[in-house]
A and B are shown apart, each in its own frame.
Chain A
Amino acid sequence: MSLSLEAVSKSFGPARAVAGVSLAVERGELFAVLGPSGCGKTTLLRLIAGFERPDAGSVTVGERVVSSPGAFLGPERRRIGMVFQDYALFPHLTVRRNVAFGLPRADRPRTMSTLELVGLQHKADRYPHELSGGERQRVALARALAPGPAVVLLDEPFSSLDAALRADIRRDVELILREAGTTAVLVTHDQEEALSLADRLAVMREGRLVQVGAPEDVYARPADRWAAQFVGEVNVIRGMSRAGGVETRLGTFDVARATGLSGAVHVAVRPEQLDLRVDRSGNAEITQREFRGHDVLYRLRHETGGTVLVQLPSVELFEVGERVFVGPRRAAVVSLVD
């Protein structure tokens, strides 16, 4: 175990930023905390780093308890590497001296090898203001990695980058972290970022972890309606639970977890779990089409009045105003969200 939190809480005045969070991150794992702004995820990160003192609970980094009701270790003694949202590079130091900041004096080889890891050895003598956003990001990462921390923490690491660069830089950062073999925790409000980058992720809301799991599980089997809606687009549909699945106005769906619930329930159906075909006497009409390149998102008006989202590959296109039949895609397994 590389990092664990036990019932950690932190309030600012009356506001509970973090409420009883427990969490375990494995060695070498890339872990994401996903939540909307103000959900407490940055506070969680600062509690791990030691920039805030928890009101209750304990934090363990590596084998060492760094924070517990009786004891508190300052951030400088935690073996934590932090990458700040705005990078917080020291403006008066060159790239080389930024990276060397956390190293014993004259550990030049380590400085250079870390700069090579992030591919910036040729910029060693530049100052932060002379670098592009992506380069600053990599310097911040190198600076955090150089002392060989037990855990690297990344606070919204991609939010200050241009959208066009973000995907590339995300890939770079993932490769660097994997190559360094570090345990990393990143917090973000961008679900795409969390889903594509993390080995596991936690969904956070109002100071609590709503769900923890692999990206595919969290996406396909959201723990509740809020998590379903926050992590991607979703149709929440009312239905009746029966032996063969959940019967809804869109047809019968297989349900992931046998919960023993019966009667009226809600299921979370992802737009790509539905299928369309043109049908003059179908049950819905296309009201809007959002072309996204590789796929298309359709917005339908169902004959019972509700709106239904359907996502299909863009190989075949339907027109706005067409009458269609909408139903479950084959093998669609959905989850109950009551």
Chain B
Amino acid sequence: MSASEVRPPVWAIAGVVAAVAAIPLAYVVIRGAGAGSETWSGLLDERIPELLIGTLGLAAVVCAGTLVLGTGLAYLLVHTDLPGRRVLLALSALPLAIPPYVGAITYADVLGPRGGLRDLLGVEELPSIFGFAGAALVLTLFTYPYVLLFAAAALRNLNPSYEEAARGLGKGRLAVMVGTTARLIAPALAGGTLLVGLYVLSDFGAVSLMRFDTFTTVIYAELGGQFDPPGAAALSTVLIVLTLLFLAAGLRVRGGGAFVQTDAGFRRESVHELGRARVPALLAVVAVLVLALALPLARLVTWTVDVLGEQDLGEFAGWAQNSLLVSALAASIAVGAALPVAIVLARRRGGRRRAGVLVGWLAQAGYALPGVIVALALVALATRWLDPLYNTLFLLVAAFVIRFLPQAIQGQEAGLQQIGANLSEAARGLGASRAGAFWRVVVPLLAPSALAAWVVVFLTAAKELPATLILRPLGFDTLPVRIWTPARDGLYADAGPAALLLVLVAIVPLYVLLARRRGVVPGLT
């Protein structure tokens, strides 16, 4: 046994965490498989093919859109001499702070049948925003930062010598861009795009408000009133399989295709001069920022100004407080539960490597579970076996923890990997006990990563919609609930104040995280 190996108690806790995290997944798949041939054949005849085409079509269009937007922006803002590119890059990542369902509300209003654009153009009627086109537009505008962050990090880490070597071998600038640069950052682009795809599969709020049916909306509707309908479980099983396929593809691209670049230590900036293309390039960037950031924010602000007088501020503070409470609880528990798993993952080697991989996979089952499905599983489990827990905060927090455990694990695993095992050994060689070495060396060094992971989980939990809708105790309203409820009935303006608060609360920590970590926040992307 080596001194730096993971101790049995840590293994045991990690195993328990992994088992608990995997329960909803196991439950849904078992229920789905046992849904009966009648349910299945009924669904397979019509519902499933239709949903597959709709959901996958939406995912494909949004992936393509975000790939173009994200890569284009990253290229212009990292790799060229565009004026103000540092500020613009930071701004370009901020739409991440606007939940797509909030974005959907603003677009449903602006482009809707009684919207501002119609008034502006002075026409009778606009083509309807609702349906596939609207869902694709909104999801693209508010998820492209995933691709942007991946692409920007890859471009920044790109060793300029490769491009210079290609130029030196007689390739023109365009040929280098396509043949060398794009090839080198391709794994990162694929990674970011697949995250977008995963998000589209799990999204509930934006597609609902855009009135486009995907798996999540249909599962949610099936759930209405009933506790454990077999149809919902069957559809969930299909969605989980889809998600796992996306995940597997993502792992393949990010793991197998990742290039190892020789590190030269200091990196020169490699900047392409835009020349006369500067002005159009700048206009393009500004246009994206207007559509994805300025316009929705402006709409939220005007709504807030309009309705704030009518709002009961005490009630409003209560919703914010509830959001804060569940998100903080979820973040704290998730970060705590993730630590043993992260330790197992970061320090796995030798004989128990496989066991470590298994623990890692199970603990990150939340990745494959859209919020609707986690909620469905927990409701069913609670009503069957743990009735006292039903209609309590416990279920909601548990759903958040399971769903966002992967973020907490990844953030801390990345942090642990930067703490070499020999730092603990050095501490022990100097007379510190195992626990002493952990407290005096690992904890202070891990703290920034753990804090970042906490913030990421907090922010994600604060804006989570479907699980909140299904699992919240009666009368327990959070900001997302108070955004959703009026918006579902088309009263967009009434959703304004809560939406604005939610966005503002997210923007500040997001900006700080992105600025301090130069856009690389494990778990966020």
What residues of chain A have their CB less than 8 Å away from a CB belonging to chain B? 12, 46, 49-53, 74-78, 80-82, 84, 86, 88-92, 101-102, 143-144, 147
* Residues A75 and B422 in contact, CB atoms below 8 Å apart: no
Q: How far is the CA of A13 from the CA of B469 in the complex (A)?
A: 53
In the complex, B441 has a CB within 8 A of chain A: yes
A-B contact count, CB below 8 Å?
73
Known: A51-B2, A88-B420. A80 touches B429 (CB 8 A): yes
Interface residues of B in 430-445 (CB under 8 A from A): 430-434, 436, 440-441, 444-445
Known contacts A75-B425, A76-B430, A101-B432; 15 additional CB pairs below 8 A are: A46-B2, A49-B429, A50-B428, A51-B425, A51-B429, A53-B1, A74-B428, A75-B428, A76-B436, A77-B431, A78-B429, A80-B429, A81-B429, A86-B420, A101-B427
Of all chain B residues, which has the CB nearest A53?
B1
Q: How far is B428's CA from A91's CA once the two chains are assembled, in angstroms?
A: 16
Residues of chain A within 8 A of B420, CB atoms compared? 86, 88
A51 and B426 contact, CB distance less than 8 A: no
Q: When the two chains form their complex, are residues A75 and B3 in contact, meaning their CB atoms are under 8 A apart?
A: yes
Task: Enumerate chain B residues within 8 angstroms of A74, measured Cβ to Cβ.
Answer: 3, 428, 433-434
Given contacts A50-B3, A52-B3, contact A143 B430 (CB under 8 A): yes
Residues of B within 8 A of A76 (CB): 428-433, 436
Question: By the criterion CB–CB under 8 Å, are B425 and A82 in contact?
Answer: yes
What's the Cα separation between A124 and B360 when bound, in Å? 42
- State whether the Cβ of B311 lies closer than 8 Å to any Cβ in chain A: no
Given A51-B3, A52-B2, A52-B3, A102:B425 Cβ within 8 A: no
Q: In the complex, how many angstroms separate the beta carbon of B72 from the nearest chain A beta carbon?
A: 36
Q: Counting CB contacts under 8 A, is B4 at the interface?
A: yes
Distance A50 CA – B432 CA, assembled complex (angstroms) = 13
| CB contact list, B411-467 vs A, under 8 A | 420, 422-423, 425-434, 436, 440-441, 444-445
- Contacts A75-B425, A82-B425, A84-B422 given; does A51 touch B4 at CB 8 Å: yes
| B residues less than 8 Å from A51 (CB atoms) | 2-4, 425, 428-429
Q: Are B431 and A102 in contact (CB under 8 A)?
A: yes
Compute how far the CA of A50 lies from the CA of B424 in the bound complex, rounded to whole angstroms.
13
Contact call A88/B422, Cβ cutoff below 8 A: yes
What would 8 A/B residue contacts be, using CB atoms closer than 8 Å?
A74-B3, A74-B428, A74-B433, A75-B425, A76-B428, A76-B432, A82-B426, A84-B422
Q: Which residue of A lies closest to B424 (CB)?
A: A88
Known: A76-B431, A76-B432. A88 touches B426 (CB 8 A): yes
Give the residue of B1, B2, B426 whose beta carbon is less than 8 angstroms from that of A90. Answer: B426
- Residue pair A147, B428 in contact (C-beta under 8 Å): no
Query: How far, in angstroms, from A282 to B433 measured CA to CA in the complex?
Result: 70
- A45 CA to B430 CA, complexed, in Å: 15
Structural contact, A101 and B430, CB atoms closer than 8 A: yes
Complex contacts, A102 vs chain B, CB 8 Å: 429-432
B427: A residues at CB distance < 8 A: 90, 101
- B1-17 contact mask (Cβ, 8 Å, vs A): 1 or 0: 11110000000000000
Chain A facing B: main interface SS: loop
How many residues in B have their beta carbons less than 8 Å from beta carbons of A?
Answer: 23
Chain B: minimal CB distance from A157 (Å)? 14
Instruction: Tell which of A49, A52, A102 has the most Cβ of chain B within 10 Å.
Output: A102
Q: What 9 pairs across the A-B complex have the smallest Cβ distances?
A: A102-B430, A88-B426, A82-B429, A51-B3, A88-B422, A75-B428, A76-B431, A76-B428, A92-B444
Query: In this complex, what residue of B is CB-closest to A85?
Result: B422
A208 to B373, CA, bound (A): 59
* Least Cβ–Cβ distance between B322 and chain A, in angstroms: 37
A6 to B24, CA, bound (A): 55
- Give the CA-CA distance A12 to B350 in the complex, in Å: 9
What residue in chain A is nearest B1 (Cβ atoms)? A53
B507 to chain A: closest CB distance in Å?
A: 30
Assess the B431–A84 pair: CB atoms within 8 A.
no
What are the residues of chain B within 8 A of A12 when measuring CB–CB? 350
Instruction: Judge whether B425 and A88 touch: CB under 8 Å.
Output: yes
Interface centre among B429, B431, B434 (most CB of A within 10 A): B429
Please report the C-alpha to C-alpha distance between residue A158 and residue B432 in the assembled complex, in whole angstroms. Answer: 26
- Alpha-carbon separation in the docked complex, A46 to B428 (Å): 12
Taken together as a complex, chains A and B put the C-alpha atoms of A77 and B350 apart, in Å, by: 26
Bits for B26-52, please: 1 = Cβ < 8 Å to A, else 0: 000000000000000000000000000
Write out the residue numbers on chain A whose beta carbons fall within 8 Å of the beta carbon of B440: 101
Partner of B429, one of A75, A86, A90, A92: A75
For A89, the chain B residues whose CB sits under 8 A away are: 426
> Nearest chain-B residue to A77 (Cβ)?
B431
- Residues of B contacting A81 in the complex (Cβ-Cβ under 8 angstroms): 429-430
- Docked pose: A92 CA to B443 CA in angstroms: 11
Known: A76-B431, A92-B445, A102-B431. A84 touches B426 (CB 8 A): yes
Shortest CB–CB separation between residue B433 and chain A, in angstroms?
6
Question: B225: shortest Cβ distance to chain A, in Å?
Answer: 55
- State in angstroms the CA–CA spacing of A82 and B428 once bound together: 10
Q: What residues of chain B lie closer than 8 Å to A82, measured between beta carbons?
A: 425-426, 429
Cβ contact within 8 Å between A90 and B428: no
In Å, the complex CA distance between A103 and B4 comes to 22
Complex interface: chain B residues within 8 A of A91 (CB): 445
Q: Closest B-chain residue to A101, C-beta based?
A: B430
Q: How far does the alpha carbon of A149 sit from the alpha carbon of B377 in the complex, in Å?
A: 58
Which residues of chain B come closer than 8 Å to A144, judged between CB atoms? 429-430
Chain A residues with CB under 8 A of B423: 88, 90
**A86 contacts across to B, CB distance below 8 A:** 420, 422
User: What is the minimal beta-carbon distance from A225 to any residue of chain B, in angstroms?
Assistant: 35
Please indicate the chain B residues that have their CB under 8 angstroms from the CB of A77 in the complex.
431
CB closest chain-A residue, reference B433: A76
State the CA gap A4–B10 with chains docked (Å): 35
Chain A residue nearest to B418 in the complex (CB): A91
* B371-415, CB < 8 A from A: none
Closest Cβ of chain A to B429, distance in Å, is 4
Beta-carbon nearest neighbor of A99 in chain B: B430
Within the complex, the shortest CB–CB distance from A54 to chain B, in Å, comes to 11
Interface pair A90/B431, CB less than 8 Å apart = no
